[in-house]
Amino acid sequence: MGLVLGVYCDDEDKNADKMRFTDSGTKYNNYVKGKLQDYLKMALPLPKLGQVRLLYGMDSKFNAIAAVGMGTDCIGYNPVEEIDEQKEVIRIVSAAGVKALQNLSFPRIYVESFGHAESSAEGSNMGIWLYQENRAERNKKVIPKIEIFDSNDWIGWQIGHQKAMAQNLARNFMEMPANVLTPSAFALQAVDVLTKAGVNVEVKVRNWAKLRDFNSFLSVSSGSSQAPIFLEAFYEGCETDVAPVVLVGKGITFDAGGICLKSCKQMKYMRGDMSGAAAVVSAIRAISNLQIPVNVRALIPLCENMPGAGAYKPGDIVKAKNGKTIMVQTTAHEGRLILADALSYCIMFNPKFIVDLGTLTREIAEVMGSSAAGVFTNSDSLYDMMRIASIHTGDRVWRFPLWDYYSDDVRNSEQSDVLNVGSDEDYGGACNAAAFLREFVPPCVDWMHIDSYGIALASGKTQPYLRKGMSGRPTRTLIEFLSQLACRHG
C-alpha cells in the first residue's frame, strides 16, 4: 500500500528550516518518531508544488510514502484569477502523489484530505484515470483503489469521488474511437450508465424525429450510414410539479465536416465532438448518485457529420422544428443545427431554464485557450451561479456578449429566416453561433449556452491532474452548478 501526504515549503528555504507538514502529515511524522522529516531533509531539496519524493521503510503498514510539495499555505480564493487556489493546489498535489505511487503498481493508495476532502478525492481519482480499453492486459496500468486517510469528512470525500468519476466517464466517452462509439453505441452506453443510477432514459429513432419536424437535426445526419438517435433522460429529484432544468448536449460522435470536408489534421480529435453530450450524461448520473433535490431533463441529439451520398450541402435551406428556415452556408458548422431542434423541443417541458453545451467554435479556443469555457446567456443570475460553481471546481467560465448586433447578423438573409454562420463568415464566429441558437430558444425562458471547444482537450500541463488527452470538462462545474441551485431553492 501507498500513502500520500503533503509538505509545505517556501522556495527560498534551501535547508528545510521552515518545512511544515499538513495536519495529517504532522500526525504521521509523530507516529514514525520524526522519520518523515528526517528522510525529507536527507533528500533535499524539498519538493516544490506538485513535485513528489518517494520514501520507503517508514513503517510496516505502508510500503511507500509519497511526500508532495504544496508550496505555501497562504492561499485561498483569488478574485483576480476567479479561482479557489487552495482547492486547485489540493487537486494538483493529490493527483501527483497517486500517479507516482500508481507507477509502482500499488493496488490500494491512501490519500489525506489536505484540509478539503472533496478536492482531494477529485484530484486523486482524476489523476489515476487513463483510457486503455484497447490495450493488451499486460500493458495496462494498474488502476488502484483510492481511500481517504486520517479524515472524518466522508461526505466531502464521496462528493468529490462522484464528481471525479463523472468527469472520468465523460473522458471515456470522448476518447472512444468513432468506429466504436457510433450514435447507437453512445445511446446504449448512456442507457446502461443512467438506468443503473436510477435515471429514466428514452431512445428516439429517425422516424420519431421526422414526425416531429426535427429537419435541421436530420439534415446533418443525412450524409452518414449511422442512424441518428435522439436521447432523452429524466432525473426526478423532487416533486413532479417542479419545473425541470433542461440540459442539451451536442452529440456529434464524429465530425468530418460533411461536404465541407475537414483536413486530416482537423479531424484528429473529432471523435470528441460529442463532449457536450458526454458531459450531460455524466453530470446527470452524478446528480442522481448524490441524490440532489432537483428535476433535470437531458436532451441529446446524436449523429455523425459525414460527406455521404445523401449529405446536406452548402446552400441548402432547412426548416427547423420551430418553423424557422435556416440557410446552410457551411456544413462544417453542424453543431448549432442539431442543437436548434433540441432547443425548440424544450418548450414541451416547461423548463425552469435551459443550458446547452457543446464544442461549437474554434474562435472561442483562439480567444480563451484552454483556460475557460465561453458562456453566453440572457440571464445575469444564471451566469453568476455558473461562475461561482466554476470558482469552486477550478474549471472556469467566462461570459461573452449576446448583443442584438449578432442576432441581426445571423438574420441578414433574403432567402431564409436565419443563416447558420452569419453575413460575415470570417468574424464573430462564437458570438454568432450563440445568436443563432438564441433564435430557437422558447420565448421568455432563461437560457445559457456553453461553448466548450477550447477546453475539450487536456495538455497534461495546465491542469496536471488531467493526463494529456480528452478532458471531460466542464462536467464538474455543471454538477456543482446544479448542486448550488438545489441549495439555493431547497
Dist CA 375 CA 402 (whole Å):
10
The sheet with strand 418-419 has its strands ordered as 317-319, 325-327, 418-419
Question: Which part of the chain has CATH 3.40.220.10?
Answer: 2-152
pLDDT of residue 96: 97
Residues annotated as catalytic are 262, 336
- Per CATH, the homologous superfamily of domain 164-485 is Zn peptidases (3.40.630.10)
Instruction: Tell me the residue type at 277.
Output: A
**What does pTM read for this prediction?**
0.96
Tell me how far apart the alpha carbons of residues 483 and 61 are, in angstroms, rounded to a whole number. 38
| Rounded Cα gap, residues 296 and 354, in angstroms | 10
Q: Which residues of 301-335 are buried (b: 16+ CB within 10 A; e: fewer)?
A: bbbbbbbeeebbeeebebebbbebebbbbebbbbb
Q: pLDDT tens digit string along 304-323? A: 999 999 999 999 999 999 99
**Residues of the chain whose pLDDT is less than 70?**
13, 487-490
- CA torsion 146-152-158-161 (nearest 10°) is -40
For the chain, residues classed under CATH 3.40.630.10 are 164-485
pLDDT for res 315: 96
The pLDDT assigned to 314 comes to 97
CATH classification of 2-152, choosing from 3.40.220.10, 3.80.10.10, 2.40.50.140, 3.40.50.1980? Answer: 3.40.220.10
Residue 155: per-residue pLDDT: 96
Between β-strands 200-204 and 145-149, what pairing exists: parallel, antiparallel or unpaired? unpaired
What is the maximum alpha-carbon separation in the chain?
81
Per-residue H/E/C for the chain: CEEEEEEECCCCCCCCCCCEECHHHHHHHHHCCCHHHHHHHHCCCCCCECCEEEEECCCCCCCEEEEEECCCCCCCEECCCCEEHHHHHHHHHHHHHHHHHHCCCCCEEEEECCCCHHHHHHHHHHHCCCCCCCCCHHHCCCCCEEEEECCCCHHHHHHHHHHHHHHHHHHHHHHCCCCCCCHHHHHHHHHHHHHHCCCEEEEECHHHHHHCCCHHHHHHHCCCCCCCEEEEEEEECCCCCCCCEEEEECEEEEECCCCCCCCCCCCCCHHHCCHHHHHHHHHHHHHHHCCCCCEEEEEEEEEEECCCCCCCCCCCEEECCCCCEEECCCCCCCHHHHHHHHHHHHHHHCCCEEEEEECCCHHHHHHHCCCEEEEEECCHHHHHHHHHHHHHHCCEEEECCCCHHHHHHHCCCCCCCEECCCCCCCCCHHHHHHHHHHCCCCCCCCEEEEECHHHCEECCCCCCCCCCEECCCCHHHHHHHHHHHHHHHC
The predicted structure's pLDDT at residue 488: 64
